[in-house]
Chain A
C-alpha cells in the first residue's frame, strides 16, 4: 500500500538550475496538492489540481509550475531555482475537497545554493 510517493527525497540545486519533483498516488484520488514547509510557517499551498488535466494556483505559486497529465501523477517544476525555494516540499492527495482526509507523501528536502 504505497499511498503517496514523492521522488526524489533529497536534492541540492545551484541557483538558476531547474528540476521537477514527481508525486504519484495509487488511491484514485481526484485532488492533488503541492505544499512547502518552512520553519514556523506551517504548510503553504503552492498549486493544486482538482482532476486530470487541471491545475490552479495556491497561496505561494510564484516560481513554480505544475502539470497533471495523468490522474495519478502531479509534477512540480522549478524553472530557475532560487535560494528562497530552499524548503521541504510535500505532495498530498484527497478523494474530494480538502474537507476530507488528505494523505501526504514523505516529503522532498530541497536545498538551493
Chain B
C-alpha cells in the first residue's frame, strides 16, 4: 500500500519568514495530494490540495508543488503569522477508490 513520509516533524520560524514542509509518497498510482491543518483541540481541516495533472497551486500565502517523477510534494507558507501555528498533515490517495494515507505530521511554531 501507499506510504507517506513527512519532514520535518517540528518546524520553528520567525513571524514573517517562510515555512516549507516536504512529503514523499511510494505509490506511483497516487494522484490526489491534500494538505490538512490541525489546530489545538480540533480536527484537521483541508487548506489546499493538488491533483497529479498540476505542478503547482497557490492560494494567497500558501502554495503546494508536486513532482510526480520524484514522488514528492511540498507545502510552502509565506509571510508566516502566529495563527499559522498548528500541526500540518500531508496525504495521498488514488482517486479511483483508495483511502487517504497521511504523513506523520509537522508541528509548525511561528514565533512573534
Contact = CB atoms under 8 A, between A and B. Distances in A.
A99 B105 contact: no
Interface string B80-94: 000000000100010
Contacts of A107: 41-43
B41 A106 contact: yes
Contact of A45 (B45, B49, B99, B104): B99
Interface residues of A, number: 22
A98 B101 CA distance: 10
Interface string B40-71: 01111110010100000000000000000000
Contacts of A98: 32, 93, 98-100
Contacts of B32: 98-99
Given A40-B9, A42-B104, A106 B99 contact: no
A41 B101 CA distance: 11
* A interface SS class: loop
Contact of A97 (B36, B42, B45, B97): B97
Contacts of B105: 40, 42
B interface bracket (residues with beta carbon within 8 Å of A): 20 to 34
Contacts of B34: 101
Contact of A43 (B1, B44, B95, B97): B44
A58 interface: yes
Contacts of B45: 104
Interface of B: 1, 4, 6, 9, 32, 34, 36, 41-46, 49, 51, 89, 93, 95-105
Interface of A: 4, 33, 40-45, 48, 58-59, 90, 92, 97-99, 101-102, 104-107
